Chain A
Amino acid sequence: MSPRVMAQVAMVMNLDKCIGCHTCSVTCKQVWTNRPGMEYVWFNNVETRPGQGYPRRYEDQDRWRGGWVRDGRGRLRLRAGGRLRKLLSIFANPRMPSIQDYYEPWTYDYENLTNAPLTGDVPVAPPRSLISNQPEKISWSANWDDNLGGDPSPDPVLAKVSEQVRMEFEQAYMFYLPRICEHCLNPSCVASCPSGAMYKREEDGIVLVDQDRCRGWRMCVTGCPYKKVYFNHKTGKAEKCTFCYPRVEVGLPTVCSETCVGRLRYLGVLLYDADRVTEAASVADERDLYEAQLGVFVDPYDPAVDDAGLPAEWVEAARRSPVYDLITKYRIALPLHPEYRTLPMVWYVPPLSPVVDALSGTGHDGEDADNLFAAIESMRIPVDYLAELFTAGDPVPVTAALRRLAAMRSYMRAVNLGEQPVLADVGLSEDDLLAMYRLLALAKYEERYVIP
């Protein structure tokens, strides 16, 4: 049966390049959510990992019950319960984070600084809650545990890592995880909405909340395992990352992408077989979800694509898609928490560094290609941790991705030093390696963002 080909604009973020600067968060906030009712909302946020994230411990699905589960009959159900249960409990509090789990937004009495009468001391601007307007002791924010501040051990992912990870200086590691809405192929938020206000756009796969139809039931907040649907407490409606559709529609990258000074975001078209989404999301073993989702994607050169009725420029964009290459060709980008079974469409290249560091303790030369692979197994960021984020705990795809990155570095170092490069066996041809290098290292604007 020929596939029912649909197109989606998807994103890949190369975490190996992320400097954790939060420019994406700020530019997104400024454009989309710096308005009443949305003070606490960051469509785009950046988390230091290990860390609790935003909202706090959102990955703890035992508590928040987001995403899908596979039932005994092999069918998917919303973890929080189906629509009927939602309908029956529609007036009860949905299971969703409180404002304290996000953070209680605040401001300061800035006016004091100018208007303070003559006193005996320096005027000051104490904090004040934007919710209650009362003085507030700030004890949580949109990014409280930045750079391992405080104790990251409540991180739900950390709890899953089999090997005990100690929070000690000598073993310190961290990396940054920028997050937006995943614009999933199998979005549990859409399935959770009793009003039909949430939808996935046919033409580009962007998941949106129809502001006119939203009745503020907030089931989507519960349903989304990434906690990327937010409740505007002024309008009483749900809001979420729009993938900057007013920009994407005219060929501009999303704000978070264009303003990313780490140059780590890629935007492009992915084609997928809409008829295989459910099947892929329903595979028995969580660890097969990554491969299953890859199986849903359609090769843009597949003859079926020509018959799918897609606009020519979309097909063209799909063929030049950096996202497709990173995900399927080089296989260095991985989905975030595939075990939620939503088939997310924002993927991540796992962070490589620091590698050689780990080997120096053993006295080996980490620059040697063979040792480099050994180092990946013992690098500061435990592969197990990355696997819990990206492959439902399966270390194999993570290791493979890291090895490709390492092999590229090793190869290019030889070129750089004028030596004979050696291509390690990582399943990449020399041409692929050079093309991957170009995409990751040179990362030209028009190659990062290929938008029809």
Chain B
Amino acid sequence: MSAEDLLLKTGRFLRRSVTSGDLHTLYLTGGTEGDTFYRDRWSHDKVVRSTHGVNCTGSCSWKVFVKDGIITWESQETDYPSVGPDSPEYEPRGCPRGAAFSWYTYSPTRIRYPYARGVLVEMYAEARRRLSDPVAAWAEITTNPEKREKYQQARGHGGLVRISWDLATELIAAAHVHTIKTYGPDRVAGFSPVPAMSMVSQAIGARFVSLIGGTMLSYYDWYADLPVASPQVFGDQTDVPESADWWDAAYLIMWGSNVPVTRTPDAHWMAEARYRGQKVVVVAPDYSDAAKFADEFLSVRPGTDGALAMAMGHVLLKEFFVERARPYFTDYVRRFTDLPFLVTLRSHMGSYVPGKFLTAKDLGSQEEAAEWKTVFVSEQTGEPVVPNGSVGFRWTGSGAGRWNLNLDTTPKLTLYGGETAEVLLPRFDGGHSAHRGVPVMRVGEHLVTTVFDLLLAHYGVGRPGLPGSWPTGYDDDAEPYTPAWQEPITGVPARRAVKIAREFARTAESTGGRCMIILGAGTTQWFHGDTMYRAFLSLLLLTGCQGRNGGGWAHYVGQEKCRPQSGWALLAGALDWSRPPRQVPGTPFWYLHTDQWRYERFHAGELASPLAPGAFRGKHAADLVTEAVANGWMPMSPAFDRNPLDLGDADDPIAYTREELRSGRLRLAAEDPDDPRNWPRVLTLWRSNLLGASAKGDEYFLHHLLGTASNLDHPDEEAPKGKLDLLVTLDFRMTSSTIFSDVVLPAATWYEKHDLSSTDMHPFVHAFNPAISPPWQTKTDFSAFHAIARTFSDLARDRLGVRRDVVAVAYQHDTPGEIAHPGPDTPELQLVERDYGATAEKLAALGPLTERLGIQVKGVTFMPDREVDWLGRRCGLVPRGVAKGRPELDTDVKACETILALSGVSNGRLAAQGFRQLADRTGVSFAGVAQERHRIVFSDTQAGPTQVAASPEWSGKESHDRRYSPFTINVEHGKPWHTLTGRMHFFLDHDWIHEYGEALPVYRPPLDLAALCGETGTLRYLTPHNKWSLHSEYHDNLLMLSLSRGGPTIWMSTQDAAELGVSDNDWVEAVNRNGVVVARAVVSHRMPPGTVYMHHAQDRLIDVPKSEATGRRGGIHNALTQILIKPTHMIGAYAQLSYAFNYLGPTGNQRDEITTIRRRAQEAEY
């Protein structure tokens, strides 16, 4: 025994206790006094269920722990309804970002009081005193050039002072009144994204903006999260499976989606489904977090994913359709896709190009909407047939009972075996066009072929006897779209493309379509992201995977499904009081008003098809914006170069406006966005950090919209500087948006209010609940907007009174307007009366149009008469005023209750109404789909996540024994998709689509910004989602920053770093024509050479030094990007290509960007 052991044995050295025989271990029973510290630490007074209102799609239910009135921490709830005995469950849901959220409650970045810029407050107070009128004071400051410049230039440069809520609301109200009176209500704009993440908080501001005639700006398309291919192919904004349905997939491709990071609470389904034998393939440029789970990892060159998908499609068509057709596939595409439909061929340069769908009108039909009824050839008779289900049956009287996918004949997929013709198909891979033959027939004066025949020609899948030049085999690298052709483009070996395509198809065949592709921002957010997506979707459509559990596309990029859609839409649009609201696509709005259009020095025609008729030749994209607005394809704000309230003063305002437009006396504001009459004047941001996150071309925003200093190298001197009179932001933490705002309102956090949350990822709605009351002088968004509305109403009552407002609206999707084409070349005009003094009263009550006009959703109308009655009894009736006798909406809880009562997913009675209407229209039965007695009230969602039921708001079925998958209603009940043919589309025949050569899925490479914009950088600059912050939140959270690099970073490959002389953690600067980013390098061998990542939403506020290039603070990740408009996204009034808010609009894409990076001095000057 050694000396020390002896000591131990005698207990002189250690405490008396039980020791192990060898004296290594000291055993004590628990509960000693020394342990009490940790017992105290683990104690709390209450646990409150809430969640996070951030746009991450998580919608996770959390336990918020409170001790002594202080929020201590949070952890995940685990009480989701069961998915079933043979499946994993949803518990727990959450991520490290969410787990760190409570840090904000008491953090030093918390906004505790209202603030405004000192210089503005001083000027306002002085003018207010002198003029004795808030509105006059505001008018003077904003119209006096010196004063205006003074406070605009101070934006973003500190100097905020605390003000009272009264002063804040007065200033805001005065600005609103002045703007509405002087310029028009559509010069007021609101931006607050993603309602699903906190429906009431979003709706309350949108409701205020909509009541006064202001403009709500879209987010889904602006974020470039909208996959435009979805409206194009499905006629649906986005509808995707819940994550539990990944479990049902036998084959899963994660394509440009880094699931562990961006779908953190859902990733386990993928990890677990592998144990069920699911094969996992990851396609990404870098060896990503997702690649860790891949059976096969394909490193693809950024932005070339479409080429790989096209080559896979080539293999699929060749082996599974031509060489040996599989009945499962051919039956599926005949019934559910446009492949059998006939397309006319138009002669072009001695050959042919595809034209339009052949329609009943072409057959000589006199039926109503014959030009909207598409045609195929019957297998049995060989004759053209006009089947049910096309959009021509959807909105016509004679179409009742016929808008369905029932077939009494078998559609012919191909005309192969007879006459042939050579068609020209555009190439964008460097070649001009492909010459390929298709089988044809003549129908009257038309030479036609099928979409399927065109598709084979386009993919280069030959059949004997067809003219043209075809690939000689998979190894022919000269002809698109062979596996060998894609290899030099994508970097993916041809044999692997073949292998995966085969496995995919075989699995789909043997499982009845259980192959799934999870798609992410890595593929969506390109200029040509829509073409990429169409190439992906083709793989799924051809293999019968859509509308199947475990199959289909799974696009999860920021859309966050607001499941109680119709109730939310009613409240947010204030549709219960007045219709229509002004809802404008964000991208073209910012494009015009931040003057980014001025920096675009190429014409739209330069990106057109080599076979284009030339409609875009010489036209600037901004011209096409105006054209789209003029056609009524999409709305824009301001609409006219005159106050729409003044137009409303005419005896017949609509007729007057039309006449003024016709005469040229009234012009569209989009024609001259830089005319001061056409500027947006007031912008309110809440639940968003526009200027620190989503503002593509951020520096242009700062210079032109805000009028403050920027990192723009050569700002266009002809363009205005400082358009915006007032920028207001509501937030609970300091962001770039609050920093640059004139007025900052202190918001309650997600743990301090009532609200509702839902997502695509799971089928539940659940509640936010306050763990504590809003501390300091913070207010919930709900109560802040009510405060603003009250002050506004007081100021507006006499100054604005009751006015008539002429609202220009686009022809809307899912309404008869979508077959208005070719309508009059003006937007639709509608008149709305606005009682400005009653704004606050209306905000706080459910208006009468609710039951008088009903709630329109996806082409059906809910008539919630009983619900309004119920709400009156549940919430109380307004005792006096304009809203007398209406259900109260004066608390956030009542707003939650109203949303749930007025939505089909949470109110089976409304869902059943909708399905009955659908049954009438389609003539098919939806028996068993609706659960008429299903009803969710707010207290249910407070008790726990509560499962929604099926509703016409969405395309899939909901039930406790199956998972949500989109389009199951279409596939299982023969309900048409909301498209031209009523089927899923491979082919798009709009003129503008032809102009861009995108009638069929096609490979279009990333934009060549060196050629188009003169950009000299050569490194691909990508902004994927961040592991340590998501979207507009969190890149300031100390916990997250401590777990990462503690500040802004740019990831680069070891090769690039070596070339640039950069070591890990060196300060670097990324500079291009749009701005400057200062960050530190993360050098890693998991990055591919030539590509750098600056993860999304790295704001300029944390550890960002001054730039060497400009001497000013470095910018955000979007400082290097620029808005570029793809014209085809603006097509409207054409079946599924019709406008709806956040459904169709130009994307604010940003992935095509390139940059220069250099190592800078390592001393950081702040």
Contact = CB atoms under 8 A, between A and B. Distances in A.
The answer to whether A and B come from one shared complex is yes
B1102 A108 contact: yes
Contacts of B1041: 108
B416 interface: no
Nearest to A83: B4
A430 interface: no
Contacts of B156: 122
A219 B1112 CA distance: 50
A186 B20 CA distance: 9
A191 B24 contact: yes
Contact of A83 (B7, B108, B1101): B7
B824 interface: no
Central interface residue in B7, B511, B1038, B1105, by most chain A CB within 10 Å: B1038
Given A138-B1047, A354-B297, A259 B15 contact: no
A134 to B, nearest CB: 14
B76 A274 contact: no
B649 interface: no
A329 interface: no
Contacts of A355: 295
B1083 A150 contact: yes
A416 B277 contact: yes
B88 interface: yes
Interface stretch (A155-163, A385-393, A407-415): A407-415
B115 A114 contact: yes
A199 B28 contact: yes
Interface centre among B109, B495, B1042, B1088 (most CB of A within 10 A): B1042
Contacts of B86: 442
A261 B268 contact: yes
Interface in B112-128: 115, 117-119
B102 interface: yes
Interface in A348-387: 351, 353-357, 360, 363, 366-367
Most buried by A among B291, B295, B1103: B295
B1082 A149 contact: yes
Given A213-B15, A357-B294, A122 B27 contact: no
A194 interface: yes
B13 A194 contact: yes
A149 to B, nearest CB: 4
B96 A204 contact: no
A107 B15 CA distance: 40
Interface in A171-206: 172-176, 185-188, 190-191, 193-204, 206
B444 interface: no
Given A22-B1043, A357-B297, A445-B89, A123 B739 contact: yes
Interface in B641-679: none
A123 B1106 CA distance: 11
B28 A274 contact: no
Nearest to B41: A32
Contact of B78 (A19, A245, A445): A445
A307 interface: no
Contacts of A174: 287, 292, 1086
A87 B26 contact: no
Contacts of B109: 110, 113-114, 125
A92 interface: no
A291 interface: no
B88 A441 contact: yes
Contacts of A418: 510-511
Interface stretch (B30-38, B375-383, B576-584): B30-38
A115 B162 CA distance: 10
B67 to A, nearest CB: 11
Nearest to B296: A357
A418 to B, nearest CB: 7
A119 interface: yes
* Chain A interface residue number, banded: 35 or more
A245 B31 CA distance: 10
Contact of B294 (A32, A169, A274, A354): A354
A36 interface: no
Contacts of A201: 27-30
A125 B96 contact: no
Nearest to B263: A19
A75 to B, nearest CB: 9
A277 B19 CA distance: 13
Interface in A83-109: 83-84, 86-87, 103, 105-108
A397 interface: no
A261 B267 contact: yes
Given A23-B99, A417-B277, A356 B296 contact: yes
A39 to B, nearest CB: 8
A23 B94 contact: yes
Nearest to B500: A360
Interface in A413-442: 413-418, 437, 440-442
A210 B32 contact: yes
B277 A247 contact: no
A118 B26 CA distance: 62
Contact of A187 (B24, B93, B1044, B1051): B24
A3 interface: no
A121 B709 contact: yes
B499 interface: yes
B274 interface: yes
Nearest to B265: A261
A262 interface: yes
Given A17-B268, A259-B75, A106 B87 contact: no
Contacts of B474: none
A21 interface: yes
Nearest to A32: B41
B26 A199 contact: yes
Contacts of A25: 96, 1043
A356 B1113 CA distance: 48
A134 B779 CA distance: 35
B595 to A, nearest CB: 21
B491 to A, nearest CB: 11
Nearest to B499: A360
B330 to A, nearest CB: 21
B197 interface: no
A164 to B, nearest CB: 14
Contacts of A399: none
B478 interface: no
B296 A441 contact: no
Given A30-B74, A360-B496, A106 B1046 contact: yes
A410 B159 contact: no
Interface stretch (A140-148, A294-302, A319-327): A140-148
A407 B1027 CA distance: 33
A249 interface: yes
Contacts of A197: 34
Interface of A: 16-17, 19-23, 25-27, 29-32, 34, 76, 82-84, 86-87, 103, 105-108, 110-111, 113-127, 137-139, 141-144, 146-151, 167-169, 172-176, 185-188, 190-191, 193-204, 206, 208-214, 242, 244-247, 249, 255, 258-264, 274-275, 277-278, 351, 353-357, 360, 363, 366-367, 405, 408-418, 437, 440-445
14 contacts: A21-B1027, A27-B75, A31-B73, A118-B159, A119-B159, A124-B1103, A148-B1086, A149-B1064, A150-B1084, A172-B1085, A242-B35, A246-B42, A263-B272, A444-B88
9 closest Cβ pairs, A-B complex = A413-B277, A118-B159, A116-B158, A210-B34, A196-B14, A83-B4, A19-B260, A196-B15, A30-B73
Interface of B: 2-5, 7-8, 13-15, 17-18, 20-30, 32-35, 37-39, 41-43, 72-76, 78, 86-89, 91-96, 98-100, 102, 107-109, 111, 115, 117-119, 154, 156-160, 250, 260-261, 264-265, 267-268, 271-280, 287, 289, 291-297, 299, 495-496, 499, 507, 510-511, 709, 734, 736, 739, 1027, 1036, 1038-1039, 1041-1047, 1051, 1053-1054, 1064-1065, 1082-1089, 1100-1106, 1112-1113, 1164, 1166
Given A148-B287, A149-B1064, 4 more contacts: A21-B261, A138-B1045, A259-B76, A366-B295
